[in-house]
Amino acid sequence: GENVEQHPSTLSVQEGDSAVIKCTYSDSASNYFPWYKQELGKRPQLIIDIRSNVGEKKDQRIAVTLNKTAKHFSLHITETQPEDSAVYFCAAGSPARRSYIPTFGRGTSLIVHP
């Protein structure tokens, strides 16, 4: 099956700094890589995703990069704000494995200090 590793487990930054969260996956058949944000006491919500036919995707202050050869993908948040504080999960999905139902990493707790 798929195994998704996520680092770091905790990330503390100052407001305005950039934050980077890195993930690796094991199944070369995975071709869908979503990122979810879970604020304290709330449900996870999709913030951005990338498919294996592209190497990078941006949405305002958030970007994801994918290196298929290395089986590595990353989330980049620029100009961080206190409201970015949350737990972020990377995940991997495959059409052949559970119809894209995501396999999650263990999460990164991002703390943005004002």
Partner 1 sequence: DGGITQSPKYLFRKEGQNVTLSCEQNLNHDAMYWYRQDPGQGLRLIYYSQIVNDFQKGDIAEGYSVSREKKESFPLTVTSAQKNPTAFYLCASSGGDRWNTEAFFGQGTRLTVV
77 binds partner 1 (CB under 8 A): no
Closer of 39 and 79 to partner 1 (Cβ): 39
Q: DSSP label at 93? A: B
Strands (E), 1-114: 4-7, 10-14, 19-25, 32-38, 45-51, 56-59, 62-67, 72-77, 86-92, 103-104, 108-113
Q: Pattern of binders to partner 1 over 16-35, x per CB under 8 A? A: ----------------x-x-
Q: Which residues bind partner 1 (CB under 8 A)?
A: 1, 6, 9, 32, 34, 36, 42-46, 49, 89, 93, 95, 98-107
